[in-house]
Structure 1
């Protein structure tokens, strides 16, 4: 059975984008082709340039922009966002706030939802960002999938590392100088595979689940 796995994210400097690539590998490990989308940008080009993000954004903005109606076509959606003061980025919040139409018809109910993130510091709100995003996904009736402790890198003591049972994550550093470690990328890849396999088992059973 064909299963559609969407990876929907926002990335300003490339850290979340790098994690999304690893999640894509995990989806492929499960035998499916991931579909990558970005949410609409809300910052003017001149602001992006002043923030030093233009070189990455020139590449990132080649990704297709998702619409709420397109979101409803997925069997599973893995959302990615940087952390902003312990919560999702405004770009992701604005996109999710526009999903009232598909919410009203239960278009995401019974589908798998998952989240990954990045933050500037080790305790910069990674877990709260993922958990607060879960609230929105639960309002849509989605079945939440995180990053289980069966990913052994979750308990590493060999390095400072992101990743929690709520989802894969990375630490970008105060100036964005640190990109995802091998362990963090492994966690993202595991999450992609895990979500895809759950979606495979649930595919075609949405009416049964919701009845």
Structure 2
């Protein structure tokens, strides 16, 4: 069965973009129809210009399509990836989620299969809380959360976050944990649950 997957991310300097691309690789290997989409940037150009890595990443990803509510309606499954901001999702991701009221009111987000990933500059910087905060919105949608739990040993190798893959990023922008395999497992699990849901609705 062909599952349609939207991978929706926000990334300022590239970490969550890399997570999104790993998810895309796994989804393509699984035969899904995939869209990788960024949420709109809210920061002013003056702020971006003060951070060379941020400015470079904006340029690197200028051709990545911007997510719209229509992409959520299209998708059977959605994987979100966002850095943590004080234990919550980045403002850019929150603003995008706040545009989904119309779809929510029409019941068009019910039974979407969703999963989430995050990053922070230290292991206890809000990674788990960020994912849980994002899932709160999904509960309001009536979505089905496909958390990875401890369904594969790669979860432990990546740091053991059962809510969704998360990664620590050092001062130089390098990922501390090796999370690629965990991202790909989480993606395959999300697609599997979405396939079950589609079959059940058919």
TM range (shorter): over 0.9
Q: CA deviation at 1:31?
A: 2.0
Describe the SS at the equivalent of 2:79.
strand
| Farther off after superposition, 108-117 or 194-203 | 194-203
**Aligned twin of 1:18:** 18
**Aligned twin of 2:80:** 79
Describe the SS at the equivalent of 1:122.
coil
Q: CA deviation at 1:180?
A: 5.9
**Aligned twin of 1:131:** 132
TM-score with structure 2 length normalisation? 0.93
Q: Which has the higher contact order (CA 8 A, sep 6+)?
A: 1
CA distance in 1, matches of 2:175, 2:111: 34
Quick check: 1:8–1:38 contact (8 Å CA) kept in 2?
A: yes
CA distance in 2, matches of 1:119, 1:90: 15
Describe the SS at the equivalent of 1:98.
helix
CA distance in 2, matches of 1:148, 1:95: 26
5+ residue gaps, structure 2, are none
CA distance in 2, matches of 1:153, 1:167: 12
Which residue, out of 159, 166, 169, partners 1:169?
A: 166
How do 1:199-210 residues align onto structure 2 when only pairs under 5 Å count?
199-203=194-198, 205-206=200-201
User: How many residue pairs were aligned?
Assistant: 201
Q: In the alignment, is residue 186 of structure 1 matched against residue 181 of structure 2?
A: yes
Aligned in 2, Cα 1:162/1:56: closer, same or farther, shift over 3 Å?
A: farther
Offset from partner CA, 1:27-67 (integer Å, 9 cap, x none): 12322132100111101222111122111110123210111
**Aligned twin of 2:33:** 33
**Aligned twin of 2:121:** 120
**Aligned twin of 2:102:** 101
| Farther off after superposition, 44-53 or 96-105 | 44-53
**Aligned twin of 1:69:** 70
5+ residue gaps, structure 1, are none
RMSD of the TM alignment (CA)? 1.6
TM-score with structure 1 length normalisation? 0.89
Describe the SS at the equivalent of 1:37.
strand
CA distance in 2, matches of 1:90, 1:136: 14
Aligned in 2, Cα 1:162/1:155: closer, same or farther, shift over 3 Å?
A: closer
Q: CA deviation at 1:163?
A: 4.8
Offset from partner CA, 1:121-145 (integer Å, 9 cap, x none): 0111000000010000110010001
**Aligned twin of 2:51:** 51
Quick check: 1:26–1:191 contact (8 Å CA) kept in 2?
A: no
CA distance in 2, matches of 1:163, 1:43: 32
Q: CA deviation at 1:162?
A: 3.9
